[in-house]
Structure 1
């Protein structure tokens, strides 16, 4: 009986997915091996061609500077026009949900981890989100409705996007860790990733890159308020210290607190040789919140910016109308001029651009 029910479930899924070009073999590849299995499957080549990124730099301002370091380990992803494959909208005209992504990956110990993370983020996230959305809808409706229209409500879809982002960060860490062990990489990377969807914002964070919401409440450039959307993962943070020590690691002050006297972070992608001592790539994530005129700028930046600037300093720079530089250039140039010794990267998204670029037709 159990085998019969399982077989019927697979047949229902095959019929539902098949209506939208997903073969049973491709679906099974994802359920058994996740995104890497899909990308390597001969049954899923169409999926790669359906992935679309607008690379819309005009709608997503960013700047990066090597600074006083001998090499650049920061990487970023900035695209407000990601389109989720497999979806279409009967009765509303054809279209794809548009999702904005802004991410900073601040590498350390080499550029391999940040390079791989930035290269994988968009495709891994979109594939995870697409398959998870269909699986959620299948579990809700079973066979009866899936063949007619893949409808999913907005609240559930935001939950799918959050789940897909967290899975993606773990997938990236897992894939990089395999390569690191094979090739002897010792590098790691932070990950601060902001998602924008229909005027809503969510941030996932690993490490000490930051995401901020900047608001202005008066005529003076000094009258700004800041909401920090991330908390740094440093080894001396009490909950982080507890996890590290429970895993057999220890914290040593060497300039700053470091795991086993080495790593100044307690969470990171990579750093494979410290994973058994409690270093993890598990992201902390905010709840979805409105991106409104009251919190008019979203900033995502690497920690080099905050060596010499406070979050309030950063927000004040955005409201300085006397500067001709782009908003992210103002941030990284000021951080460099005030003495930052690190690589510098920043992304700035305004409320209006963020909302226009992430609005889509009803799901």
Structure 2
């Protein structure tokens, strides 16, 4: 039966590859087989996929993004970032293939070494692009199966066999009803999984003990999706009217913070339960730690603690529509929040927003800094943070995203 499926699959791919023939990243039948049997890393390394390799996406990991990083009081800088607000990606729309602009914003806070965060930042954009393209091809094939095969002269029994294999899981299920947003979400989650797999193999081979958080945000068509592993944060700063105090007061406008991520700390009830079920324990050394070692309960890498319940699986918030009141997206490493609260961060951004019209007397003034991100990390450093510091600031009203 699998041989019959392969014949149908090959024919299907040949029939529908024309849909993206204008793309510089076409998918051959043999390359699709590599993808189905492996990972993004396997595609990039396979001789069957010569057109796929590390691209300009990875060579410029901070394209058109406002960011800042500071080593701080640490001996090494283990934070890494990746950001591109205008990735042009081929997507199968209702009226056929089209190019869409997708923003990808991510912070990786490494620990125990820079290896995990480095591999994550180097591969995020390429892996994500690859997964979107391959899943779009697979959607185009599956969407056309029931409607077009008979008219292409293919045997009805083969159509039924193909459909059966899809239903039993022998073919990865990609529904014809899958939307662009579903493919983008699936691709991001698969990307994080593949990054962890790639690094874990290297960690075993090279005896790396490092790990990394991963906080990534997708922005497209006025919507965002957030995936989080660990304790870096994504914040949304939105305009809000603060009621007047007393009868004679006047209402004011402020930026109110919404935390889009929840920290994965080992003492969180659900995280602690998973760790203990796996045979691990939580002990406090300064902060709660897995087996008295690791201060996060989810991470990329940390291969020697995976058996004790440390996982790389993200928690996902999305998709949600942005509104006209949503002013800034901030993605930052936890070093920022050693000395600033999330609301402090939004206060800084609000102060920067009004400084052109009046001199602010706020203790969090950003007026002397070169950028909003630079302001955030330097304020956190001066207020006492001892960690590496990284922040990416996206002004939503000025990017064309909202």
State the shift of 1:211 in Å. 0.1
Does residue 239 in structure 1 map to residue 270 in structure 2? Answer: yes
Q: Deviations over 1:26-85 (max 9, x none)?
A: 11111111212211122322233887579596742110101111110000012112122x
Instruction: Give the equivalent residue in structure 2 for 1:133.
Output: 136
Structure 1 residues 58 and 184: CA distance shift in structure 2, 3 A: closer
**TM-score for both structures, normalised by structure 1:** 0.89
How far 1:271 sits from its partner (Å)? Answer: 0.3
Tell me what 1:340 maps to.
385
Task: Specify the SS of the correspondent of 2:179.
Answer: helix
Give, in angstroms, the shift of residue 275 of structure 1. 0.2
Q: Which residue of 2 aligns with 1:8?
A: 8
TM-aligned CA deviation for residue 125 of structure 1? 0.7
Which has the higher mean CA deviation after the structures are superposed, 241-250 or 282-291? 282-291
Tell me the TM-score normalized by structure 2: 0.80
Provide the secondary structure at the position in 2 that maps to 1:230.
coil
Deviations 1:269-291 (A, max 9, x none): 00000000000000001121112
Supply the distance in 2 between the matched residues of 1:281 and 1:56 (Cα, whole angstroms).
22
- Higher gyration radius (CA): 2
Separation in 2 of the partners of 1:26 and 1:46? 10
**Which of 211, 215, 219 pairs up with 1:192?**
215
1:248 counterpart residue number: 279
Q: Deviations over 1:279-324 (max 9, x none)?
A: 0000001121112221111000000000011110000100113314
Match of 1:168 in 2: 191
Q: Decide which of 86, 111, 115 is 1:108's aligned counterpart.
A: 111
Give the drift of 1:216: 2.0
Q: Does residue 1:290 correspond to 2:321, yes or no?
A: yes
CA contact (8 A) 2:225 2:318 kept: yes
Structure-1 residue corresponding to 2:359: none
1:163–1:91 Cα change, 3 Å = closer
How many residues matched?
A: 352
Distance 1:221 1:279, change over 3 A: farther
How far off is 1:328 after superposition? Answer: 0.8
* Unpaired stretches in structure 2, ≥5 consecutive residues: 152-174, 243-250, 356-366
Distance in structure 1 (CA, Å) of the matches to 2:46 and 2:214: 28
How far residue 227 of structure 1 moved from its aligned partner, in angstroms, is 1.1
Partner of 2:358: none
> What CA distance in whole angstroms lies between the structure 1 residues aligned with 2:114 and 2:54?
28
Q: Which runs of 5+ in 1 are unaligned?
A: none
CA separation of 1:119/1:314 partners in 2, compared to 1, >3 Å: closer, same or farther?
same
2:52 match: 47
User: Please, which of 99, 102, 107 is the counterpart of residue 99 of structure 1?
Assistant: 102
